[in-house]
């Protein structure tokens, strides 16, 4: 028989006495167990609040000063990351300007004196005056004549909050000073160096570090020359980063705190068309010749006859950019592009070019040249007395007859003459890229009076720069095509990309035949012949070479009367080497030479 199943437990029915007793017993046990836990929880909460309150009192009261000092010791500082400035080189890669790392030493005298009571414990028995003397002794020992001991003492013992002790210090020497005297700080800087001194200084210019008081702090900025006009390319773009620094010395960066870094972008390198050797020679010869002739000053330019590239651009007044403090405002300019003057007879090339190109005359055309010529209210004369006589056009040019030139210009007419001036680039900037370039001056044709056309044809009544003058003759040397001069050969970007300056589009001034004819006429200017048939530029001739050129002597305006002076002239010469195969064009200007040097052709020996 199957086993008998166990008996099921008897369940109480809801509402029975047994179930009610069990629920009551359960509630009683719950109430008894929860009460101690609630009390303990409340006690823990009260304890935590008491501890937090005590901590708050400790932080805001007892430790407030100490914690505030610790917080100040970790100041957030935005620091400057200097960009490496680009170099400037000549056409052969020789350096004309570059940068080297340096340091600027500074001190905070007021803080140093205030903290001395604390720091003096490490210097027992040493007064603040004795300690500053130790600093000065060490600095003068390491820096020599670059600093003055008494000046340093006065700075360190002053009440100034901040002072620079020396702004250009070799990093190695700066490290020795700051290691020995932690109170002295060192600031990263970049020093511009000019290894050739005054050679091409008027072109290259100068740049120096801009202090925190300047409008563009923390970088080397261009002041003059190409350093200024090309500053945006050379300077690059500075960077920055946020760091935590120690209180009292924002040069001490807490390691690992660097963030929000924006790297600096290096500047571009600029290569010029200048040839340092040619530039040096031109500067030396120009300065010697200015001194010899007693001229007020002088300028000269040498350019490629076909490309317009400038090999030399020189003033006799110059400066050493490594010692800018010794320079005057007159030294740092670039007169070859900034200072216009009346060209005198070198301007007669405009008249000849217009007449020959229009077919109005040939070199053999005979012009009757009287002893004087009346044009409106002006009486035109030549530099030498002569009766009425016939001159060939070539003879008018070689002897530089003002009267004959005006007569030829009258054949050309004012409109065609003015148009030739514009083709020659007169009254317009060349666009060479140097700051302060003057366009010169040409009176608008609608302002001409009856006498205006009596002096423009022989180089008076308008003004040019030496560069513009040379550019006119470059057009003739280049088969009649004027190529605007340039001095920037290329720019190398930080990524190595070389951007070559494109050769400017040429301007057809005269036909190739006219240019060839003019070259021949300019040869006669420099050739000797039996008197009175020799040219005015014989002293420019070179043995073994055919030289083409033109002399010029222009009366300067006397400011006391507003009339032309009878004692001060501007003397010029434009020459082409060689006449058979033009390679170089040279333009020279001497301002008011003395010592009997006021006659035409005075600048020709310098060309030689």
Candidate list 102, 345, 400, 463, residue with the active-site label: 345
Q: Name residue, tokens 């009486």.
A: 379
Q: Name residue, tokens 């000065």.
A: 136
Residues ≥6 apart with Cβ < 8 Å to 527? 534, 535, 538, 541
Rounded CA-CA distance 402/396 in Å is: 8
Rounded CA-CA distance 150/132 in Å is: 11
Among candidate residues 262, 189, 226, the one with its CA nearest the CA of residue 87: 226
Strand residue runs (E) in 94-197: 95-107, 163-169, 185-193
Query: 499: alpha, beta or left, given left = phi > 0 and alpha = psi -120 to 50?
Result: beta
Rounded CA-CA distance 444/462 in Å is: 10
Among candidate residues 204, 591, 269, the one with its CA nearest the CA of residue 435: 204
Beta-strand relationship, 507-508 and 310-315: unpaired
Rounded CA-CA distance 339/577 in Å is: 26
User: How is residue 605 written in tokens?
Assistant: 């020996």
Q: Name residue, tokens 């511009």.
A: 192
Is residue 447 within 8 Å of 456, Cβ to Cβ? Answer: no
Residue 90 per-residue DSSP state:
-
Q: Is 145 a catalytic residue?
A: no
Give me the active site residues, please: 345
């Amino acid at each position: 028989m199957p086993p008998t199943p166990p008996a099921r437990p008897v369940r109480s029915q809801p509402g029975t006495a047994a179930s009610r007793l069990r629920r009551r017993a359960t509630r009683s046990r719950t109430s008894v167990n929860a009460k101690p836990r609630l009390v303990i929880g409340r006690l823990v909460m009260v304890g935590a609040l008491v501890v937090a309150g005590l901590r708050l009192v400790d932080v805001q009261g007892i430790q407030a000063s100490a914690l505030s000092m610790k917080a100040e010791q970790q100041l957030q500082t935005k620091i400057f990351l200097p960009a490496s400035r680009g170099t400037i080189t000549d056409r052969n890669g020789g350096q004309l300007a570059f940068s080297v790392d340096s340091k600027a030493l500074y001190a905070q005298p007021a803080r140093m004196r205030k903290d001395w009571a604390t720091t003096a414990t490490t210097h027992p028995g040493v007064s603040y005056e004795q300690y500053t003397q130790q600093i000065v002794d060490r600095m003068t020992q390491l820096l020599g004549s670059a600093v003055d001991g008494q000046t340093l003492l006065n700075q360190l013992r002053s009440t100034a909050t901040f002072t620079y002790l020396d702004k250009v210090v070799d990093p190695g020497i700066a490290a020795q000073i700051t290691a020995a005297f932690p109170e002295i700080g060192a600031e990263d800087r970049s020093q511009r160096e000019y290894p050739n001194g005054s050679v091409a200084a008027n072109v290259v210019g100068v740049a120096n570090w801009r202090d925190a008081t300047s409008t563009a702090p923390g970088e080397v900025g261009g002041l003059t020359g190409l350093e200024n006009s090309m500053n945006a390319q050379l300077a690059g773009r500075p960077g920055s980063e946020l760091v935590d620094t120690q209180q009292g010395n924002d040069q001490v960066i807490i390691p690992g705190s660097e963030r929000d870094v924006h790297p600096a972008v290096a500047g571009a390198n600029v290569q010029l068309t200048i040839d340092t050797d040619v530039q040096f020679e031109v500067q030396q010869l120009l300065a010697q010749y200015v001194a010899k002739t007693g001229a007020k000053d002088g300028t000269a330019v040498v350019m490629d006859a076909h490309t317009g590239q400038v090999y030399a651009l020189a003033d006799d007044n110059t400066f050493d950019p490594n010692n800018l403090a010794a320079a005057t405002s007159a030294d740092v300019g670039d007169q070859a592009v900034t200072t216009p003057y009346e060209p005198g007879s070198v301007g007669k090339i405009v008249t000849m070019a217009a007449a020959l190109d229009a077919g109005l005359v040939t070199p053999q055309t005979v012009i009757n040249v009287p002893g004087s010529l009346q044009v409106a209210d002006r009486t035109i004369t030549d530099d030498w007395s002569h009766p009425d006589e016939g001159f060939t056009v070539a003879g008018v040019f070689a002897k530089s007859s003002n009267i004959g030139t005006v007569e030829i210009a009258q054949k050309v007419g004012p409109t065609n003459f003015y148009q030739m001036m514009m083709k020659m680039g007169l009254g317009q900037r060349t666009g060479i890229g140097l700051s302060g370039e003057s366009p010169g001056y040409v009176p608008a044709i609608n302002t001409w009076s009856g006498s205006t056309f009596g002096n423009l044809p022989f180089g008076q009544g308008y003004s040019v720069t030496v560069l513009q003058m040379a550019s006119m003759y470059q057009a003739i040397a280049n088969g009649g095509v004027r190529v605007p001069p340039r001095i920037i050969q290329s720019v190398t970007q930080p990524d190595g990309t070389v951007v070559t300056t494109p050769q400017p589009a040429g301007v057809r001034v005269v036909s190739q035949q006219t240019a060839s004819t003019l070259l021949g006429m300019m040869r006669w200017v420099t050739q000797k012949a039996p008197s009175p048939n020799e040219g005015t530029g014989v002293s420019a001739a070179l043995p073994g070479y055919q030289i083409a050129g033109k002399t010029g002597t222009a009366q300067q305006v006397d400011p006391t009367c507003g009339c032309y002076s009878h004692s001060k002239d501007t003397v010029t010469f434009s020459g082409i080497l060689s006449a058979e195969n033009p390679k170089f064009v040279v333009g020279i200007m001497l301002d008011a030479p003395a010592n009997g040097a006021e006659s035409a052709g005075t600048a020709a020996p310098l060309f030689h």
